[in-house]
Amino acid sequence: MALKQHKDERVRYEQQVDNSRQYVLPFIEETHPIKPGTNVLEIGCGEGGVLVPFMDKGAHCVGVDLNELRIDYANNFYKNEVAAGKIKFLYKNVYDADFLGMYKGFFDVIILKDVIEHIPEQEKFVPYLKNLLKPDGQVFFGFPPWYMPFGGHQQLCEHKLGMMPWYHILPKSLYRGLLKMIGESDGVIRELSEIHDTRISIERFERIIKSSGLKTVNKQHYLINPIYKYKFGLQPRKQLGIISAIPFLRNFVTTCVYYTVGM
Ligand SMILES: C[S@@+](CC[C@H](N)C(=O)[O-])C[C@H]1O[C@@H](n2cnc3c(N)ncnc32)[C@H](O)[C@@H]1O
């Protein structure tokens, strides 16, 4: 039952803009004001919609993604702003020497929204971000914790049964077997297997932040992820403080977390 936004880049773009304006930007601004001239990088920007509210505030924005097609869409959606030099979209790996050469210590804010759970070797990736950040800069992370009911990104499945909660935490071979049995395509099985490999819980994330020499400056856990408004018509809801304070168990009933971290 893949959702509409999985097949329509314009719908994805519009949802990114709205969600960013209502939730991502206000959360970041609780600890880091966005002003004309603030340098903002989004890693894994997709169609680039998350950056729109930042650009509207006069920030200088750069989006990078490893998916060339999505970067082409972004460049197309923002033709005028790209031409005016307000925003730049790059099909690039942030580890590339020329990227680091251009942007060493350059960014005030780095955004990773629904991206960290797709990135291999997060223990190497997160400390690397410090190279791109100004000394007083901050990094935003928003992601669905692995143990939440749909933490395997089951919504990508075509078959109704693929949407079942929690079966993604089965051992990988069993999980892949089930996905094959319900007829999921090789592409979906590959993508879901990659997320199984990179799975990230709240505890593992916080450990990586600490071991990278970064400090949490703000966090918000959600019972209902703000993006579920678009995906399933559900109203966003913050997690209860008492639940957020229970290590491990909180993962099972927390569909999204927002963090900003700094040096
Ligand atoms: C779920 S999408 C999120 C897109 C957008 N940030 C949003 O919130 O809608 C994840 C994106 O991260 C990109 N991605 C995954 N690994 C990446 C990496 N190492 N560097 C840059 N982009 C990456 C994928 O190509 C994909 O476009």
Q: What value does the mean pLDDT of the chain take?
A: 95
Which residues sit with their C-beta closer than 6 Å to ligand 1?
16, 43-46, 50, 64-67, 70, 94, 113-115, 118-119
Q: Quick one: average pLDDT of 49-53?
A: 97
Give the pLDDT confidence score for residue 81 in this predicted structure: 94
Domain locations in the chain? 4-147+199-262, 154-197
Ordered alpha helix ranges (H), 110-248: 122-128, 172-181, 186-198, 202-211, 228-232, 241-244
**Ligand 1 mean position to 242 CA, how many Å?**
32
Burial 3-24 (b: 16+ CB within 10 A, else e): eebeeebeebbbbbbbbbbebb
Give the pLDDT confidence score for residue 1 in this predicted structure: 52
**Ligand 1 mean position to 42 CA, how many Å?**
9
Residue 71 to residues 59, 114, 129, 210, Cα–Cα distance (Å) = 19, 16, 21, 32
For ligand 1, atom 14: residue with the closest CA = 44
CB 169 within 8 A of CB 155: no
Pocket of ligand 1, candidates 66, 90, 231: which has the most ligand atoms within 8 Å of its Cβ, to mutate? 66
Nearest-atom index, ligand 1, CA of 12: 9
- Is the pTM here over 0.85, yes or no? yes
Total residues belonging to the chain: 263
Give the separation between CA 92 and CA 62, rounded to whole angstroms.
11
Give the pLDDT confidence score for residue 234 in this predicted structure: 94
Query: Going by CATH, does the domain composed of 4-147+199-262 fall within 3.40.50.2000?
Result: no
What are 70-109's pLDDT values in tens digits?
Answer: 999 999 999 999 999 999 999 999 999 999 999 999 999 9
CB 85 within 8 A of CB 15: no
CB 188 within 8 A of CB 156: yes
- Residue labelled with tokens 């089965």: 170
Confidence of residue 146 (pLDDT cuts 50, 70, 90): very high
Nearest-atom index, ligand 1, CA of 119: 16
